[in-house]
Structure 1
């Protein structure tokens, strides 16, 4: 799940409507926004989430009469983007395209984070729910989920899987646990770097955005 949040020093608040208030501004301030707004994305360019972000930025600009500029900061399990926005001025002009993993999973997966999901951000709106797919290379001998599970059980710890964030790592770990299989994790900075290795067979399987793999499944380079 992706959502918009803004930098704030106030405690966590309930989900806000699709408006972007400048929380630090006085009541008599000019209508928001008075200058260009940055939307910092935890994803790399070319992903489904990035496409949604740029589409929304375009419509926000048309609706509010000001530029909304998307800035991609992928990497470090979404920590780079979150830390960057957490340290920005809490004036409503630096927004974050986040994901459930950055806010709900990271606090439980890392002993220390440079940001606090509850104190450093105010959620504005849910942006999208992105479907994902379990995929293998097009040349893989595994044609079904059962084939993959059987091979992993026959050779515990020898297969590997690729992930591009903690959100996807959580999903695929849940799958491995449910199937009672052991495999090695290969972390990637972004979906754009994971996909080539999936298609070439460097990694055995992975969980990726459906929108990002449809062309590769249709061409036979990947198998869903």
Structure 2
């Protein structure tokens, strides 16, 4: 009889211990899931900051403005400037897209610290499709060119990119800026040069 009682007691203790272990295991699973969600949220936040971080790094790398880079590119390769981008892919150069009078497109690289032309390469991948022709026509007929658009938007911050944007048939210059560590996106009218905040931009600047 005593032997049966001892066996029953040991069995109950084992079940209780196992239950406790199972409970701890379940608790560990919840903690792991919570930690995983936290890590995912942190990664998403880091991804959202990537573009702003790259722009800030590029801005710190040189003192040549977008307007100056465009002017230097046009002096080297006369034509119509369609865009300028302060690239931060390791080269840290301004890349200005210029279309010459014969329709050929060139990417002109400008040093961000000296404004020196580092080279010009013809864009052999240019398809010159209907959209490209429409943008070129809009740029040629604009009262405000890319350099002037960059100058106008400079009042909102340091310009890191300027280019043409077609929003449902309404073509305007689209300009990205950085100010106090924050990005801004702006539209510059082709006719008047008026600067307005991009309606798709969630920034706080106005």
TM-score for both structures, normalised by structure 2: 0.23
TM-score for both structures, normalised by structure 1: 0.22
Q: Give the number of the structure whose residues are more often helix, by fraction.
A: 2
Q: Give the number of the structure whose residues are more often strand, by fraction.
A: 2
The structure showing larger relative contact order (alpha-carbon pairs under 8 Å, at least 6 residues apart) is: 1
